[in-house]
Structure formats: structure tokens, C-alpha cells
Copies of this chain bind each other. A is one copy, B any other.
Amino acid sequence: MKSKRNVYLKMKPLAEARKILSDAFPRFGTLEAETVPAPDAAGRVLAEPIFASVSAPNFHAAAMDGVAVKAEITFGISETRPGELIIGKDAFYVNTGHVLPDGTNAVIMVEHLNVLDEDRVEIEAPAFPWQNVRRMGEDIVATELLFSRNHRVTPYCVGALIEGGVFSVPVRRKPRVMVIPTGSEIVDWRKTPIENVTPGQVLDSNSYVLGKLTEACGGEFVRHEVVRDDLGLITQAVEEAVKGNFDIVLTVGGSSAGSEDYTREMMADLGEVLVHGVTIMPGKPVLIGKIGNKPVLGMPGYPVSMIVAFEQFVRPLICRMLGQPEPEPVKIPVETTRKLPSRLGVEEFLRVRLGKVGDRIVATSLPRGAGCITSITEADGIIRIPAHSEGIREHETVTAELLRPLNTIRNTLVAVGSHDNTLDVLADQLRADHGGLTLSSSHVGSMGGLMAIKRGVCHLAGSHLLDTEDGSYNLSWVKRFLPETAVRIVNLVFREQGLIVARGNPKGIQGIEDLAREDVRFMNRQSGSGTRILLDYRLGQIGMAPASVNGYATEEFTHMAVAVAVLSGSVDVGLGIYAAAKALNLDFIPVVTEQYDLIIPEEYFGSENMRILLDTINTGAFKSRVEALGGYSTEKTGEIIL
């Protein structure tokens, strides 16, 4: 281990760090213009105010098919005193869009004409001046301001530009961002086949995420080759980028205070470190610097840290260069489903799933680690827990910033409870058939699901709670734990639970009894999960004490996590479903076939979304996909049990 370690400069609160950055780079909308044809301006930002060069219409135009007249000659005409007009003298046939003949100022609709012969028509009502006429300049007057500078051009605007005779449009060129991934462990998946990637190596995803985030806010990016942890190489790459035609330079990784983190040293060598470390989580180890009058940022290597740092620091820079306000997220009040302690002195960006259950939007916390990219890809919103707060109480109403439109969230069925792989199949089948309907599943075990129903924070709960008295599932548990809630029970699947062991079963495990062996390490499921209850029941049946199981106290929350523990060699065996073992190519010793049901509060049973879900469960498409997973029976799938 190298003994050299960086230390953070005094860490800054978010607002202060943002102010330091904007004070250092205050230029607003100063990127030079490039000229593009009007249609290509869509989505771009105007670099100059745009004035119309022609009027629209550019002539007085008939707005109806009929005859053009001078209105004044029709005054006095009525049903009782009809008037005759001579075609070619008093009246002129026109179609919609035609130029009004000189001397006319009104159009009488063809429906209101009595055609007497080729040369004469009769009318029974006067015309008023400018009736059925689109007057010159009615829409656009030449020389008038069409759009202010810094206006973002929409497809609609393209129409106004062209109608106004503006065919070449000065738009701000896109800010150019150089993204430099750093780290000796980083592997370029475009060059290295996946099978050559060894433990300890990490695929470079971050630089692409930064690039796509850059594009999404109107910039363009170039990705540098991966630079290994070498101060000289990193310095060289940044120096070249700063001297080149980039507006912003981002390094990824090495921004922290570890012994192999060179970004700060590079920045201090080449320019000035403005901020090192911000009291936010994720996102803390961000570096903000100025080199050759250009912004250079050291982005954290953990993906969610990096994303938060981008959105808090890089996006505002890009927006400012384009003369655009920073996009403000839509904010809504939400209710949290459980207590969420948070560290004092740090502003946390908590990723949450959201769902509308009854009258409330409920928020369920996703994993809080900065390394967990799925915690943000699965998030519907962000709750910002302020630095001065120690966290959020259960059922507290707080503000969430939306990551998806509110109506998507309203169209989400919230499942909380036991984990089963068929829920993924169901979610996909719903999206396949009804793109607008999302099934969002949180895995807290069967009992957790019942409690979620009790607290009114979900639409349905997956459950496989065994009644150890009579061998039935769920019914007695629902009666006992939800005495005051009317619920329905629908079977989803029957499934095999068993012991998941390494390929080839090297420890020769045959059944539950083997869990007592000294040389067998076990991974348990959390208490309240149906699988834990099943284990306890079996242990009781054969008179084995939990304490005799090596690893009884270690818990995972899903079947897949248990299977991973076996795959990685952390443990020798776990209890779980066949599908999990099969997915990871592990061996499986069946123990029991159990019933896995959906518990649905009566309140939501009749809803349109639930109807679609239940219809989908009953489709052959769903059932055959489930059967294909292995270890499942769909014999009673969709059957209403209660």
C-alpha cells in the first residue's frame, strides 16, 4: 500500500459549492452562434432574437371558397331585399387561400350564393368588411420579433420561422464536453471481450452515462480512451483537452482522497482547485477546478455519485453556456412508508419508488449506496433530506422531485411483499401488452407485504405464508394479521422451494438435516419471509435447533441474493426457489412445493389497472413464460381463492 493519501479540502455545502462554480464561470448564453436551416433549429437555442422578414399571410387571402366582393356594395341587402352581383364586375370567384382581387375586402361563402347563371349570383345578406378574409400580416408582420434569443425552438416554432421567411437560423453551438475515464481497473468493453474481464476489473459505463446526460441537456461529448491511474498520463490528457476546443472537461474516477486518486493533484498542478468534496450523498467526492479559464470537474467513480454531481454541477454549466435556465424538477408531496434515518451534516439524495395508493403518493426507499446504478434507474423520484435533518419519520409527508411524469406514477401498480421471479415476467408482460401500465415490486418478504397492506402503502402483496397447523397458505395469516382489511387472494403460481448448492453439489448436501454439519455454511432469509417460516417449520419437524445451523443469523432479502451468495462461494447452501438456482446454473435439491398468492385489498381489486393485471395473469402467454422458467406450476394460476 502506498502511504500517500490525499485529504479533502474543507468540504462545502451544496449551495456554496454551486455558487463557487457559477461565480467562477458566470458567462450566460455566450456560446457563439452557428447557422442552421430552419427545420434543423428544432430543439436548439436561438443565439439572437429572430425578426420576421416577410408577413404571413403576405397578401389578403380568401379564407373560404366563394366570391370576393367589396363589402360596401352589399350594405342594405337582406332576405326581403336580395341583391344581384355580376361575376367579374361586382364579385369574383375565389377558393380558400386565393389572393383577394384588387378592390375587394370580403368573401361570401359559396354556400350562401344563389347561382342565377354563369354571370350572376344572388345574395340575401350583406357582407361586412374583411369577413372570411385572412388579412395580410394577420399571423406575422414582417419585422416583428418572432422569438427572443435564448428561446428553445420547438417543432411548432419551425412553422413560424419558415412562414416568417427565416430560413437560416442562428443557434448556439452545442457546448463540447470531453469525458476522460480514469482508473487502472477500468476496462473498455468495446475492446475487451466480456469473458476476458477478470475479478477486480470494472466495465466503463460511466463515461457513456456522462456523455448521454450531456447530450440530454443540449451538449455534445467526446469520450477519451481510458487513462490508467498515473498522474502523468491523467495530467497530459486533461491538458490536451483544455487546450483543445472543449468547453468543459470531465475526468471520471480518482476524485476521492484515496492513495490512487490523482485528480486533485493534476488539477492543482495545471490550475486551481475550487472545491474538493461537497457534503452531499451520493456525490461527495467531486472535484471542481479551473484550468486555463475552463471548468474541469473530477467526477466520482460510483455511478450514482457521478450522476448527482453531473446534475448539480455540470448541467447548470451547460445550461448557462446555452443561455437556458436550469431545468427545475416537478415536485410533489409524498408519504414515506418507513423511517429513514440520515446522517446529520450531509444532504442526502434518496432514490425512491413512488406509487399512488388510495389518495396518497407513497414513497419506498431504494438502496442508498452510491454504487448502485439500479437505485436510480428504478427510481421514480428523489427525496432530498437536508443536511440539518437526521432523517424522515415513518408516514412523514415530504417533497419528492419526480424523475418520471406524474401520470406514469399514477399508472403504477405497487407490489410489496415476497419476491418471486414470475413478478418480473408479469411486469414485462404488462408492459408488452399495455405500455402504460407499470408493476413496481419491492421485496420485503411475505409478512412485510401483509404489513404494507395494513398500512395502506401498496396495491398488492406476493405471499407464501404456510399455516403450520393445516398446511394451507396465506388464508389463516391474512385472517390473523389483517382482521380489519377486506382482501382478496388470487393464486399466482405453485413453485418448488429447495436447497440451492454449488454446481455439482461439492459438499454432498442431501436435505435440511445437512445444515447442522460443521462444514456447511448456510445463508438464511430475513425473518418474516415465507421462506424463513418454511425453514423454521422444517427445522421444528425434524427437531433441529436454529442455533445448530452455521449461518442461521446471516440474512438475505431475495432468492437471487441467496443464490449469488452460493455462487460466489460465501456460503455452501441456501433455501430458495428453483428458478433462482437455474438462473445462476446452480444445483437444487427440492424440499417442498408451495403456493404463492397475490393478496389484494378489496379496495383495489376492482380497479381498471388490477383488472388488466388479473387478465394478464390468465393469458396463455404469461403462463407459458412462467412454465419455461422451470420449477413452477401454473395449474391454479389466476384462480380466485378468497
Q: Are A258 and B158 in contact (CB under 8 A)?
A: no
Q: Are B165 and A203 in contact (CB under 8 A)?
A: yes
Q: Are B560 and A204 in contact (CB under 8 A)?
A: no
Which chain B positions have C-beta within 8 A of A60? 568, 570
**A618 touches B (CB below 8 Å):** no
The segment from A8-16, A194-202, A447-455 found at the interface with B is A194-202
Which chain B positions have C-beta within 8 A of A136? 564, 567-568
Q: Chain A, 336-375, contact with B by CB distance < 8 Å: what is the 0/1 string?
A: 0000000000000000000000000000000101011111
What number of A residues sit within 8 Å (CB to CB) of B?
A: 129
Q: Are A148 and B432 in contact (CB under 8 A)?
A: yes
Q: How far is the CA of A199 from the CA of B148 in the complex (A)?
A: 28
- 8 Å CB interface, A254-294 against B: 256, 258-260
CB-defined A-B contacts under 8 Å, sample of 11: A49-B424, A96-B256, A99-B199, A137-B561, A137-B568, A138-B369, A149-B431, A158-B208, A162-B203, A163-B205, A167-B194
Residues of chain A at the chain B interface (Cβ within 8 Å): 1, 5, 28-29, 37-39, 42, 49, 53-61, 63, 65, 93, 95-99, 105, 110, 129, 134-151, 154-163, 165, 167, 183, 185, 189-190, 194, 197, 199-200, 202-206, 208-209, 211-213, 215-216, 256, 258-260, 301, 303, 307, 319, 323-328, 330, 367, 369, 371-377, 405-408, 411, 424-425, 427-428, 430-436, 554, 560-561, 563-564, 567-568, 570, 583-584
CB distance from A569 to the nearest CB of B (A): 8
CB distance from A370 to the nearest CB of B (A): 9
When A136-B564, A151-B431, A194-B54 are in contact, do A203 and B163 touch as well, CB less than 8 Å?
Answer: yes
Q: Are A432 and B149 in contact (CB under 8 A)?
A: yes
Q: Are A159 and B206 in contact (CB under 8 A)?
A: yes
When A159-B209, A433-B28, A561-B141 are in contact, do A428 and B148 touch as well, CB less than 8 Å?
Answer: yes
Name A156's contact: one of B327, B376, B435 (CB within 8 Å).
Answer: B376
Which chain B positions have C-beta within 8 A of A202? 57, 97
CB distance from A435 to the nearest CB of B (A): 5
Of all chain B residues, the one with the shortest Cβ separation from A328 is B407
Q: Are A209 and B258 in contact (CB under 8 A)?
A: no
The 8 closest A-B pairs by CB, nearest first: A325-B436, A162-B205, A155-B212, A59-B199, A137-B564, A143-B583, A1-B93, A145-B424
Q: Are A59 and B200 in contact (CB under 8 A)?
A: yes
| Best-buried of A105, A199, A319 by chain B (most CB within 10 Å) | A199
Of all chain B residues, the one with the shortest Cβ separation from A320 is B435
Q: How far is the CA of A371 from the CA of B185 in the complex (A)?
A: 61
When A96-B256, A139-B374, A373-B163 are in contact, do A216 and B155 touch as well, CB less than 8 Å?
Answer: yes
Q: Are B560 and A144 in contact (CB under 8 A)?
A: yes
Name A564's contact: one of B129, B141, B200 (CB within 8 Å).
Answer: B141
